[in-house]
Chains A and B, each alone.
Chain A
Amino acid sequence: DTAVSQTPKYLVTQMGNDKSIKCEQNLGHDTMYWYKQDSKKFLKIMFSYNNKELIINETVPNRFSPKSPDKAHLNLHINSLELGDSAVYFCASSPPTSGGAVTYEQYFGPGTRLTVT
C-alpha cells in the first residue's frame, strides 16, 4: 500500500547511456513532481505535472524528458547521461487544492540514486 513508489531504487550506468526512472502514486493526487537532490543534499524542483500536463520546467537540460501517461504516473527519461547527472531523484505528489479537505503538503517517494560512471 505504498503511497508514492519509484523504480529502480538504485541505478548505476555509464556516461552516454539512456535510462528511465518510473514513479507511481496511489493517492489519487492530480499533481506530480520530480526533484533532484545533489551530493550536498540540496533539493531542487525539476518538473511539475498537473493532470498529465507539464506546468513547470525549471531550466532542466532537454536531455531530461518527463512523461505522464496518466494522473498516477510520472516517468523521467534521461538521454546521454553525464557525470553531473549523478544524484538522488525524488518523485512527489500533492492533492488538489480545491474541494474537500485541502492539505497542501507533498508526499515523496523513496528516491532513486543514480550513479553515472
Chain B
Amino acid sequence: AQSVTQLGSHVSVSEGALVLLRCNYSSSVPPYLFWYVQYPNQGLQLLLKYTSAATLVKGINGFEAEFKKSETSFHLTKPSAHMSDAAEYFCAVSERSGNTPLVFGKGTRLSVIA
C-alpha cells in the first residue's frame, strides 16, 4: 500500500527565506507524486507533479520539487518565501495504473513571518 509522510505539521519561515517542506513516500511501484496547496476555506490547487519526466519539477508560484528515488523523497522548495505563500501544503502519491485515488500526507502548514 502506498503512503506519504510529511515531516513537520507546521513550518514557520521569515519572508524572503528559503522554504523547504519535506515529503517521503512509500510505494511498491514507481508512483506519480504531487504537491497541492490549500488556502484557508478553499479547495486544493495543484502546485506541481512528477510523472516520470525530469526529476526536478518546476511548478507555479516559484515552487519546485525534486524526485529522489534513492531517498524516496519529493521535497518542495521555494528560494524566497512571500507572505502570500502562507497556506496548507499536501504531498500526494498515486499509482501509475490509470485514474487511481490520491493518497495524501497529513499536510504541512506554512507560516510566513514579516
- Interfacial residues, chain A to chain B (CB-CB below 8 A): 4, 30-31, 33, 35, 40-45, 48, 50, 56, 58, 90, 92, 94, 96-97, 104-111, 113
- The segment out of B22-30, B40-48, B61-69, B70-78 that lies at the interface is B40-48
- 6 closest pairs, A vs B, by CB? A45-B101, A31-B99, A108-B44, A43-B104, A108-B43, A110-B43
CA distance A97 to B94 in the complex (A): 13
Give the size of the chain B interface in residues (CB under 8 angstroms). Answer: 24
A35 CB contacts on chain B under 8 angstroms: 101-102
Partner of B34, one of A45, A48, A50, A105: A105
> Chain B, 86-100, contact with A by CB distance < 8 Å: what is the 0/1 string?
001010001000111
Given known A108-B43, A111-B42, contact A41–B107 (CB-CB < 8 A) = yes
Among B46, B94, B102, B103, chain A packs the most CB atoms within 10 A around the CB of B102
- Interfacial residues, chain B to chain A (CB-CB below 8 A): 32, 34, 36, 38, 41-46, 49, 51, 88, 90, 94, 98-104, 106-107
CA distance A113 to B49 in the complex (A): 27
How would you classify the secondary structure of chain B's contact residues: helix, strand, loop or mixed? Answer: strand
A41 touches B88 (CB 8 A): yes
CA distance A60 to B46 in the complex (A): 26
B34 CB contacts on chain A under 8 angstroms: 105
Partner of A97, one of B98, B102, B103, B104: B98
